[in-house]
Each structure stands twice: as C-alpha cells, then as structure tokens.
Structure 1
Amino acid sequence: MAKKQAQPAAPDRQPNSVIAEPATVAACREDYAKGAAARDAMGKAAARTRR
C-alpha cells in the first residue's frame, strides 16, 4: 500500500488560518437571510427548554 502524501497548503494561506471575505452590505444581508432558519430553530429549542 502506497503512503499518502500530504497536500500542500495554498500559498496564500497558513495552516489553521481563517478564510474571510470583505464585509459588504450585500454580503451581510445575504448571510443574515441565510441564518433565518437557524435562528428560528434555536429560538424554538430555547423556548422548549424554558417550559
């Protein structure tokens, strides 16, 4: 069985670094809209535990 070789990291990225995108109004609105379902689910779960 052949040894697996480690894949080289991208040249502009360090290991364990965070990949980020510019914070534009459009990007923020899109992220907020995508998170609506998650916020609703967390709110419902929290309401169930408060009973």
Structure 2
Amino acid sequence: MWSILKALRESPEVLIESQRRRGDSTEIVEKAIELDRLWREKLKELNQLRH
C-alpha cells in the first residue's frame, strides 16, 4: 500500500499513463491524488492544533 502512496506523491504521471495504456479512466488516480492532498492538509492542521 505504501508504494502506491509513494507513487501517487512522487510520480503520479506514471500511474495516469498506466491507466491510459489499459484503456481505463484516469479519474480514479486523479481523485486519489486529490484525496491524499486533502488528507495531508488536514493532518497538518491537526498537528498545528496539538502544538
């Protein structure tokens, strides 16, 4: 699982291209990228409230 998150963060274009080559929608990858961004943003906010 962590390798997928790492790929989303470091080289999302590889995952998007993989989806395209298989004829699948890239929407799932784009949504995962957005959700990961939101998750990290909220986690940062939470950590700021703790300190």
Structure number with greater CO (CA < 8 Å, separation at least 6) is 2
TM-score range, shorter chain: 0.3 to 0.5
Structure number with higher helix proportion: 2
User: TM-score scaled by structure 1?
Assistant: 0.37
Q: Bigger radius of gyration, 1 or 2?
A: 1
User: TM-score scaled by structure 2?
Assistant: 0.37
